[in-house]
Amino acid sequence: MAIQPIRLFGDPVLRATAKPVTTFDKELRKLVRDLTDTMVDAPGAGLAAPQLGVSLRVFTYRVDGVLGHLVNPDLSLSEEEQDGPEGCLSLPGLRFDTKRAYGVVAKGFNMHGDPVTIEGTELLARCIQHETDHLDGVLFLDRLDREQRKAAMKAIRDADWGQGLVPRVKVSPHPTFGFPR
Ligand code: ZN
């Protein structure tokens, strides 16, 4: 087991654009193991490498009992949307309804460098979109509508881990669902 500390909202690594993996080596396999162990221990449905302070395009997930990981993901999203509660291990205790595509086809690689495709709907699709956002420095807060975002910022200020943080929303390359960029 190699459980690592999870970076919290306010840490700049969560706002950086992660780099593509180019070497599928022992270190990458260790990263996937650390992500998996830390995610399962938390517990959480997904964890992206930047949340462990590693700015690489890798995430793990555990949805409906299925464990997996994806390297260098490339997503195709359905036009149909879903709305439902979402949270993040980097924002402990916060849950807000977040709009996402209903389905996703995610192409990428496994830790050995073999091409893989993951298809999912509902929770798995939500998780894959959330984790891929992390690789672009985007947090689910950025996808909330203005009113929910205000409530989320207040919840962060009120949280014991959020003391002294200055909330900041990055200019997003993604649709922000009405939130001003
Ligand atoms: Zn997250």
pLDDT in tens, 113-151: 999 999 999 999 999 999 999 999 999 999 999 999 999
- The percent helix, strand, coil of the chain (3-state, each to 5) is 30, 30, 40
173: number of Cβ within 10 Å: 11
- Between the CA of 160 and the centroid of ligand 1 the distance, in Å, is 19
DSSP helix/strand/coil, 172: coil
- Its pTM stands at 0.89
Distance 113 CA to ligand 1 centre (A): 24
Is CATH 3.90.45.10 correct for 12-162?
yes
Please report which residue ranges of the chain form alpha helices under DSSP H: 26-41, 122-135, 146-158
State the catalytic residues.
131
* Residue 168 predicted with pLDDT over 90: no
Predicted confidence at residue 4, as pLDDT, reads 95
From the CA of 27, how far away is ligand 1's center (Å)?
22
Cα 177 to ligand 1 centroid, rounded to whole Å: 18
pLDDT digit string, tens, across residues 20-71: 999 999 999 999 999 999 999 999 999 999 999 999 999 999 999 999 999 9
* 169 against 32, higher pLDDT: 32
Eight-class DSSP state of 108 = E
For position 181, what pLDDT does the model report?
40
